[in-house]
Amino acid sequence: MHFMVAIARRPLISSTAGGAMKAVLVFVIAVFFAVPAIAQNGLPPRLAPSAETVSDADLSKFLWRNRLLVIFSDSPGDPRFEEQMALIEARVEDLVERDVIVLIDTDPTRMSELREKFRPRGFMLVLIGKDGHVYLRKPRPWHVREISRSIDKMQIRREELRND
């Protein structure tokens, strides 16, 4: 099973005090439009503003726009995969704030481009920056708090924070 779960921040409110409102509004709109796709794919409602297969994902369209969090597993029933998805769902706002797109690949029999590139063995998490570089590879679930800290250390993220 291959999914792409998009979690991205969009400038919807121009008010200077609307920072928190932006994330909430993006989340509400995302959940509203995602419910039919989630029912078919079994993804948690907070995680699926849009869904498509990982093999259909053209990574070049994310370059300089989004960070990617790629999660590999040999099965959607893998306890590590389930734990990672629960960790992401619990703090999805942190990922939205950092322009993160979550890509999920739980079918090792269908060799996606990402599987060929990263060659995961069982569960694996990969963080790719907006510049296309791999910043993190983990063989176990990671808390969003730790992922966020890794993102916040990236040069591009520091520049984003200075410019906001």
pLDDT digits (tens, 9 = 90+) for 18-55: 444 444 334 433 333 333 333 334 455 445 443 344 65
The CA distance from 92 to 59, in Å, is: 21
**Alpha helices, H only, 44-136:** 79-90, 92-97, 113-118
Sorted by sequence, the CB contacts under 8 Å of residue 54 that are 6+ apart come out as 2, 3, 4, 103, 104, 105, 112, 113, 114
Distance of alpha carbon 42 from the chain centroid: 16
- ∠ CA(137), CA(115), CA(106), 5° rounding? 90
pLDDT at 17: 41
Token readout for 72 is 């590999």
SS3 125: strand
pLDDT at 68: 96
Greatest Cα pair distance in the chain: 48
Residue showing tokens 């990672």: 84
pLDDT at 37: 35
Tens place of pLDDT per residue across the chain (164 aa): 555 555 544 443 333 444 444 443 344 333 333 333 333 344 554 454 433 446 556 788 999 999 999 999 999 999 999 999 999 999 999 999 999 999 999 999 988 889 999 999 999 999 999 999 999 999 999 999 999 999 999 999 999 999 98
Residue showing tokens 């916040």: 152
The CA distance from 95 to 97, in Å, is: 5
Residue 64: CB atoms within 10 A of its CB come to 10
SS3 11: coil
DSSP letter for 120, please: -
